[in-house]
Structure 1
Amino acid sequence: MADEQKPTPENMTMLQGFEWYVPADQKHWTRLEKHVPQLKAWGVDNIWIPPACKASSNQGNGYDIYDLYDLGEFDQKGSVATKWGTKASLLQLCRTAQKHGVGLYFDAVLNHKFAADRKEKCLAVEVDPNDRNKETSDKYEIEAWVGFDFPGRGERYSGMKYHWYHFSGVDYNARNEKTAIYKIMGDKSQGWAEDGDVDGEKGNYDFLMGSDLDYAHPEVSSDVLAWGSWLAEQLPLSGIRFDAIKHYSEDFLRKFITTLDERYGGGWFFVGEFWKDSLDDMTRYLERMGRKFSLFDAPLVYNFSQISKASGADLRGVFEDTLVSVMPVNAVTLVMNHDTQPYQALEAPIEGWFKPLAYTLILLRDTGYPCLWYGDLYGIKGEHPFPPSCGGALPKLALARKLYSYGKQADYFDYATCLGWVRYGTWDRRYGCAVVMSNAGPGEKRMHVGEMHAGEVWTDVLGWSDREVTIGDDGFGDFVCGQTSVSVFVNRDADGREKFAEKFDDNIYEE
């Protein structure tokens, strides 16, 4: 007797649940919590939340991290709450997410610390910013902000206090008020991480910013490993996003992940920010990690940026030299994030008209784990505000992924400025979809969706094309899109089509 067919796994989509300029009003957890049911209904399964640990002030996004063990619980650095809110409101977000089947990914900032409580004297040498292995001064005594006592928290959760010998480098000498990159020297300091344990850019890219943690020191590694288990007990998480992983020990990160897997069943998702436009470096890093680990596909973001700015660029090269093209299981695909958004250091501009095409390319194909961005879904605040992008199409594209983007894929990449592809569906998710996009004039593709759909009428779920396509007896249809646009065709009678007529509420800041 033949085995019963297994259900088709459901497509998963994640959301980066913040942008750099979210108002610092300590209400972000509450706003996000209210939108969890809607996000789930439109196809979001997991949310990457911003760094929830206490920053250098209640205005800081958390990458200027002060205390790992303060999730908005203690009166430190000017307030109890972080920029995002209190620990109580974070726990409420967790409860609501659990109720609606949405996982949360924690943003772990483990490379450095900021806003020390006091200065300490230590020996250091200055190094060349472009080659950190090249010393540019003799060893001399500096006064560095490296004393962390956490007076607002005291001994709660961890008794570890940080001193100069727990750090490998700093960027400021308070004695002469000089800014430079200082490598800390001393009997208990190991200097920079060993070659091969961090990225080799700039000679040795151990130092990034602030007070750089030295994971060769056993007290540092023990405390941060203990924090990982503490975090898992405090919050019902589904995974972790690791910040700046090319700047600290690969060996420590493997140990951190292994520890969590062994203690909590191995079901967490782990993704690292290895932001570099080098496919070779990314694949080598993944091979060295030696386990289920993912990276954000930075080369794909740069491809999107370049194609969007070049009139009539060849769309067929959009996946060249990208992580998703060679290691699709390990690739988190994205269009923009908090580092590449406008006015940020790694800004990678993507023209507004191209964003719907870019999101279609990550959401409706058969490879990669796509990540939506809060700024595109809800807009950007701050001094240079931007409205939500994609003309209302982004929630619909996420929903189309959840409902229809299944099964075998057939590509129609035969024309430089007009791409098409078909997803044939599966035995239990049978509707499938047909996609056409153009970065020039109106596009048209004759594509095969299958004889099983003969006689069906397919229409664009985005509503950007009014073409009704009747599928022929041979399974073919003539699908179209507008100028510099995209269309996603699905059987007009398919289950779930009524949802596309609803309005997604993108006004997350409404009181």
Structure 2
Amino acid sequence: MNGVIIQFFHWYHPGNLWNEFADKAIFLKELGFTAVWLPPATKCSENLRGRGYDIYDQYDLGEFDQKGGIPTRYGTKHEYLNSIEKAHQAGLHVYADIVLNHRMGGDEEEQITVHEVSEEDRNIKIAEAFEAKALTKFTFPGRNGKYSEFIWNHQCFSGIDNIKKDNRKIKGIFKIHNEYGEEWNDAVSHQFGNYDYLMGADIEYRNPKVVQEMKNWIKWYLETTKADGIRVDALKHISLDFLKEWISYIKKEINPDLFILGEFWKDEAEKIIDFSQEMNDLISCFDAPLHYNFFNASNEGKDYDLRKILDGSFLERKPIFSVSFVENHDTQRLQSLESSVRSWFKPIAYAIILLTKDAYPCVFYPDLFGAEYTDQKDGEEQHIIMPKIEILPKLMEARKLFAHGEQIKYFDHKNCIAFVRKGEKDHPGCVVIISNSGEGYKEIDLGKELANSVFRDFLNIRNDEIILDDNGKGIFKVNMCSVSVWIKNDFYSD
């Protein structure tokens, strides 16, 4: 399929996203995108300020007057459903962002028993059990039982970060004592001892009533939205037992072809592979290790060994379940996982994920459209400009027209690498060459059938021609800190 995803949002997107996407759906399809990842559509605890991840009511897609208004930051339910319909009309699949880990903005306080744990090791108690009040009851009065009459209370949650004791507000990580015990669910990442808790009121997936409600909800959600896939947030913190049961239910009872993509954020491919195998290969995962390779390469410049650019990546180890990306809303400047790839390297990084074999790439909204925003960091206001990557549409076109067929790698110099896509019927193939230092070159043998052929740079970065010799060999060149995509002159167009 040679598919490409666009992440059609970033953390600081100003809003009205559903209408913007509906207007751009055909344009995106023409660029070569096949799928769009849209942010969470659910009502947030902070409503217009929330990005969808501070989830309050999973059944409110911008339909009910809750948390200060009807629309979410991105628009109304009607606009959301219309944007998905526009995507389908344009021939794009829609991947909806889903938050399963927590709830925020509870409607009523409950008297509960908790004990406080260490942030560095959640298995260590730093205070013995005591009585407290917390916003652990969710009644959704604005929705008034429409779609679901399920009421969430402290038996539905395993932990919380805000409590009241003796009318004093206290912040920390507090383990809720419920009928499922006083310990965290063990079927999660063991980072920080146990990573069940992330934020808000953490959902208790040992509660069978919660599991059933989440099955009921996803059936309602997929039937309502007609989404073609889901991107599941924060998988390190969610019970594997629940995930396997929930995803198996989706595949068996709702849609066996639903694409499921997960954020299991680890910088080691081995840990992502372990998770993938534990999930019985039911889910694809983002390739965070490859992102960090790009980040390091962009910072180290000519000192980075390009021969190792794919080393340790999920793409290298398990490509069929890997989704490659250069940057996302968590890694952009001023965000929690800030590891922004420098602008000079982004054309190179995108050339790798868009043109290399087996990759399923995801393009970040600001890299296509640009972005500008202001936020606080360390008490100071910072103004960030993310320029669009001018060459990106041309790389998209190169993927569509030429990045097909067998791949041969020429990863034989620390500052200059290349790979050949040999092409197939109706797609003639290309030569991709990359430098992270000075002008580079590579002698490449394309076979006698291409003897004396003339090649030009499809990206128009270099203006010279390369003429193969009688044996089909040629010296392919690239500018300093750049990328070129060489194609046969017969297929060249300005």
TM-score, normalised via structure 2 length: 0.95
CA-to-aligned-CA distance 1:389-441 (integer Å, 9 cap, x gap): 32x11121122112211111111111110011100011x23410101110000
Equivalent in the alignment of 2:477: 480
Is 2:476 aligned against 1:467?
Answer: no
Tell me the distance in 2 between the aligned counterparts of 1:473 and 1:228: 61
Deviation of residue 134 (structure 1)?
A: 1.1
Q: Which amino acid aligns with 2:301?
A: S
Change (3 A) 1:387 1:347: closer
Tell me the distance in 1 between the aligned counterparts of 2:472 and 2:26: 38
Q: Which amino acid aligns with 2:455?
A: W
Is 2:396 aligned against 1:405?
Answer: no
Is residue 335–residue 359 contact of structure 1 (8 Å, CA) maintained in 2? yes
Q: Which amino acid aligns with 2:228?
A: S
Is residue 175–residue 184 contact of structure 2 (8 Å, CA) maintained in 1? no
Tell me the distance in 2 between the aligned counterparts of 1:440 and 1:191: 56
2:127 partner SS: coil
Equivalent in the alignment of 2:189: 199
Equivalent in the alignment of 1:386: 385
Is 2:354 aligned against 1:356?
Answer: no
Is residue 247–residue 282 contact of structure 2 (8 Å, CA) maintained in 1? no
Tell me the distance in 1 between the aligned counterparts of 2:446 and 2:78: 50
Flag structure 1 segments of 5+ consecutive residues without an equivalent: 1-9, 502-511
Is 2:125 aligned against 1:126?
Answer: no
Q: Which amino acid aligns with 1:172?
A: N
From 21, 34, 45, give the equivalent of 2:23. 34
Q: Which amino acid aligns with 1:100?
A: A
Tell me the distance in 1 between the aligned counterparts of 2:384 and 2:365: 13
Is 2:429 aligned against 1:432?
Answer: yes
Is 2:13 aligned against 1:15?
Answer: no
Change (3 A) 1:43 1:193: farther
Deviation of residue 266 (structure 1)?
A: 1.3
Is 2:376 aligned against 1:377?
Answer: no
Is residue 17–residue 374 contact of structure 1 (8 Å, CA) maintained in 2? yes
Tell me the distance in 2 between the aligned counterparts of 1:116 and 1:293: 31
Tell me the distance in 2 between the aligned counterparts of 1:450 and 1:78: 67
Alignment of 1:211-250 (within 5 A): 211-250=201-240
Is residue 16–residue 48 contact of structure 1 (8 Å, CA) maintained in 2? yes
Is 2:356 aligned against 1:365?
Answer: yes
Is residue 269–residue 317 contact of structure 2 (8 Å, CA) maintained in 1? no
Tell me the distance in 1 between the aligned counterparts of 2:5 and 2:116: 42
Is residue 190–residue 214 contact of structure 1 (8 Å, CA) maintained in 2? no
Is residue 193–residue 216 contact of structure 1 (8 Å, CA) maintained in 2? no
Change (3 A) 1:49 1:191: farther
Equivalent in the alignment of 2:421: 423
Task: Report the aligned-residue RMSD.
Answer: 1.4
Tell me the distance in 2 between the aligned counterparts of 1:409 and 1:228: 40
Tell me the distance in 2 between the aligned counterparts of 1:70 and 1:471: 61
Is residue 422–residue 435 contact of structure 1 (8 Å, CA) maintained in 2? yes
Is residue 193–residue 214 contact of structure 1 (8 Å, CA) maintained in 2? no
1:169 partner SS: strand
Tell me the distance in 2 between the aligned counterparts of 1:247 and 1:459: 49
Is residue 401–residue 427 contact of structure 2 (8 Å, CA) maintained in 1? no
Tell me the distance in 2 between the aligned counterparts of 1:109 and 1:190: 24
Change (3 A) 1:258 1:212: same
Q: Which amino acid aligns with 1:14?
A: I
Is 2:159 aligned against 1:161?
Answer: no
Alignment of 1:113-192 (within 5 A): 113-175=103-165, 176-186=168-178, 188-192=179-183
Deviation of residue 272 (structure 1)?
A: 0.7
Is residue 434–residue 449 contact of structure 1 (8 Å, CA) maintained in 2? no
Equivalent in the alignment of 1:506: none
Deviation of residue 193 (structure 1)?
A: 4.3
TM-score, normalised via structure 1 length: 0.92
Tell me the distance in 1 between the aligned counterparts of 2:485 and 2:92: 26
Is 2:331 aligned against 1:345?
Answer: no
Q: Which amino acid aligns with 2:25?
A: V
Q: Which amino acid aligns with 1:90?
A: Y
Is residue 371–residue 388 contact of structure 2 (8 Å, CA) maintained in 1? no
Tell me the distance in 2 between the aligned counterparts of 1:431 and 1:105: 31
Tell me the distance in 1 between the aligned counterparts of 2:204 and 2:156: 6
CA-to-aligned-CA distance 1:348-373 (integer Å, 9 cap, x gap): 13111001101111111112211111
Is residue 296–residue 334 contact of structure 1 (8 Å, CA) maintained in 2? yes
Deviation of residue 472 (structure 1)?
A: 3.2
Is residue 55–residue 61 contact of structure 1 (8 Å, CA) maintained in 2? yes
CA-to-aligned-CA distance 1:139-168 (integer Å, 9 cap, x gap): 111111111111111111111111111100
Deviation of residue 218 (structure 1)?
A: 1.3
Is residue 292–residue 330 contact of structure 1 (8 Å, CA) maintained in 2? no
Q: Which amino acid aligns with 1:361?
A: I
Q: Which amino acid aligns with 2:28?
A: L
Equivalent in the alignment of 1:509: none
Is residue 42–residue 59 contact of structure 2 (8 Å, CA) maintained in 1? yes
Count the aligned residue pairs: 482
Q: Which amino acid aligns with 1:413?
A: F
Change (3 A) 1:381 1:146: farther
Tell me the distance in 1 between the aligned counterparts of 2:111 and 2:328: 38
Equivalent in the alignment of 2:42: 53
Deviation of residue 191 (structure 1)?
A: 4.2
